[in-house]
Structure 1
Amino acid sequence: MKLVRLALADLLNERVHLACSVATIIGVVVPLTILLGVKTGVFAALMDDLRADREILRVTIPGDHRFSLDDAAEVRSWAETGFVVVNTRAIARRLNVKRHDGGRIRGIGLVPTGPGDPLLPSGTVITGLEVAVSAALAAQLELAPGDWLVTAIGRGEPITDRLAVSLKVAGVLPRIALDGETVLMDPATMDLFEAYYDGYALPEWGLDAGRPLAERHVQYESLRIYARDLTDVAPLEAKLRARFDVAANSRAAQVAGVLSLGRNLNLALSLVALAALGGLFAALVSSFWAVVQRKRLMLATLGLVGVPPLGLALVPVVQAAATALIGAAASLLLLAVFALVAEVLFAGALPGGAAVIRLEAMTLVAIMAGVVLLAVLAAFLAARTAAQLDPAIVIREGSA
């Protein structure tokens, strides 16, 4: 402990050398940390913007196909799948509705939903005769949660079998979630509307005319599918093509472009950091070695009074660690100042008011710990030189 205090006292006596070493650390660490923070902030804002658009995860299957509930269950079991639900034929994806208390009839689109739907708030499930309506439809019919819609549809030529089914508005979706005058509906309910259009009887809805529903063979035209994450979009699309031989489409190219940008930024930043840290390491090695050369007589005197070689080697290591800690602390302060200035200058430049410089606390801790480790490693050559000093020779040379 006395040797540590002696090393620190000697370091403080060398104020000019200490200031130069700290300035060297700051000159490398602060710019690199700012670059990392800007890269992280900008790229994170891009990714957040992509993730805010839930349709970026969607994989569509155009055309008329034949899918079953077992097919949907198989796709749901894939690791790349975040959400999947069966979808009826196009004829059953349109309804005419009006408010329960009357008013204009509107033609609306139907979108199947289920547990875990990315367009719904977490934990919200639409079942039975419930619907979640788009913001556009809610505005047109002045709907709010708890209101009721009534279907106004018929079949036959001339129309003989009219169907009025009450649908409860369970929620209103944000404008960015669902376009047009559309509702999210339980796929089982959509399937019953398809059966109605196909001429089947629906006794549970008070319609006894038509073929028995038990004779109907249920198949689905498509699947509504979302990937689990951005990185799963392309693999999920490829898997659907291979498994079902369908022309699956997605925005995988857009996702790949952003992910590729992130990889390229990481590579460029890594190369810059490698060059800068290599230069910092070389500068610290020469600086600490020069200090040992200047302090040879002092270290030799310590050796004569009984300090072992390992203790002599500890002196430059302690001084290097202390210098790095001071440099790291000063770098953090300057980084905070630059971050505040950047937020003022570039306020509103990123979507959603995201921070321009974004760094996690653990990342900062890791960077600063790395700076200390780099300085300690740089001091090893100086420590080796100090440990190998022969006190008698050094003192004899000093007195010559």
Structure 2
Amino acid sequence: MSLHPERNRAGRWQRGSLLLSLAVHDLIHDRKVALCIVFSLVAVIAPLLLLFGLKSGIVGQLRAELLNDPRNLEVRMIGNGEYSQSWLDQLAARPEVGFSIALTRALNTQADLVHSSQAFVSNAEILPTAEGDPLLAGVPVPQDAQHLVLSASAAKKLEAKVGDRIQFFVARKLDGENERGRLTMTVSAIVDEARFSRPAAFVTLALLTDMEDFRDGIKVPAFGIDSGRTGVARTHFAKARIYARDIDAVAPLADWLNQQHVETVTRQAEIESVRSITYVLGVIFAVIAWVSLLGCIASLIGAFLANIDRKRKDMAVLRLLGFRGNAVASYIVLQALLLTTIAFLCGFLLYLCGSSLFNHLLGQHLPGNTFVCHLEPVHVLLAFASAMLVAVLVAGIGAVRAVQIQPAESLRDI
């Protein structure tokens, strides 16, 4: 155990500073060879950064749109049936289901919306909703029959905004007489067009069932008409609005419904298409990256070994001056790290120029907010760490050879 730890630390710091100074001055003195090594690294680093920037930008955006678009999670039931509440509860309890709610017959999911004599929507689509509806994520869900949520296209036609009151009309023919029920409702929110593009209104399930009962000739006082027969408690529904828990649950959920003799329609083809594109491009980028990386490693190994052979006498002089084997190895590794750092900075600057060019020339042909070439800071840091790791491994091979140089070799030419 040393009696002077502070003195030992100061000595190690001085030796390290001396090694770094020698490495820097040697690179400056032998700058032509150093620049050749830097350029060979830049020729690999810049294209690789651009490749992974394109992968992260285009493929990442495609996958994000796939995952974030709730329409890709929908499993739509075809036709009408007679589904009991217990069956619907069983459906909702399945692990593949993210959201489900009962739905009436398709002909009974339409109503007229009127804001003024010049602003109205005829036969707007009326959909039931509740908490957890992926189409209404981030907006308040109607809690009663006095509130509704409009799609962006319906709000545009109605010239309505949040808080406005609109008229909700439901028509029927009873005993040869045309009747028109009416409700006055308040717009509680508006759904972005990217989530639902058709003119529609989202209401409570109770209001939708009242609409169907009204059209079936049942007395529904809420619509302001007293005619009609007395209704009975509803026990069955025609279908359901169903959304899978995630992209991977769409196919299993559709398979289960098919086993229940329920025909469905999904966007599984689009999902598989994006997955195929992601896989194919991932393989292409991986192959190009590995080929480039292996070529770079081979080039660096040759360059470092040749450089060490060229400087055997200088290495021997260092050994003669008292530098041990680990000091000479550290000297080689320090030079490799310095060269790699300079090359990575140059390659990153070229990547920034290339990505800006891609985004400017190609981005205008893609939908808004789509990155053509983009890397997150964490990706850049990982790339830098990988480059430094490769540099250390390659330099380690040269260091093993440099350690074998004997001090006596410096005396042969004297």
Deviation at 1:306, TM superposition (A): 2.7
Other-structure match for 2:6: none
Cα distance change of structure 1 residues 252 and 296 upon mapping to structure 2, 3 Å threshold? same
Match of 1:336 among 352, 362, 378: 352
Other-structure match for 1:376: 392
Cα distance change of structure 1 residues 342 and 180 upon mapping to structure 2, 3 Å threshold? closer
Match of 1:314 among 330, 334, 338: 330
Deviations 1:74-108 (A, max 9, x none): 44455544432221122421234544889978333
**Aligned counterparts of 2:269 and 2:333: Cα–Cα separation in 1:** 51
Mapping 1:1-400, distance limit 5 Å = 1=16, 2-48=18-64, 50=66, 54-99=70-115, 106-120=122-136, 122-129=138-145, 130-145=147-162, 146-159=164-177, 163-202=181-220, 212-213=230-231, 215-242=232-259, 244-392=260-408, 394-399=409-414
Deviation at 1:363, TM superposition (A): 0.6
Mean Cα displacement is larger for which, 29-38 or 67-76? Answer: 67-76
- 3-state DSSP class of the match of 1:107? strand
Deviations 1:191-224 (A, max 9, x none): 12223333444456666665554x3232221121
**Aligned counterparts of 1:334 and 1:54: Cα–Cα separation in 2:** 38
Deviations 1:322-362 (A, max 9, x none): 11111111111111122222333334022115232111111
| Percentage of identical aligned residues | 27
Deviations 1:146-173 (A, max 9, x none): 2221424345212387633333232344
Gaps of 5+ in 1: none
**Aligned counterparts of 2:193 and 2:121: Cα–Cα separation in 1:** 21
Deviation at 1:66, TM superposition (A): 3.3
Cα distance change of structure 1 residues 374 and 176 upon mapping to structure 2, 3 Å threshold? closer
**Aligned counterparts of 1:253 and 1:172: Cα–Cα separation in 2:** 30
Q: Is the 8 A contact 1:8 1:319 kept in 2?
A: yes
Cα distance change of structure 1 residues 74 and 24 upon mapping to structure 2, 3 Å threshold? farther
Q: Is the 8 A contact 1:88 1:190 kept in 2?
A: yes
Q: What letter is aligned with 1:226?
A: Y
Calculate the aligned-residue CA RMSD, in Å. Answer: 2.9
Query: Scaled by the length of structure 2, what TM-score is found?
Result: 0.85
Deviation at 1:180, TM superposition (A): 4.5
Q: What letter is aligned with 1:186?
A: T
Q: What letter is aligned with 1:395?
A: S
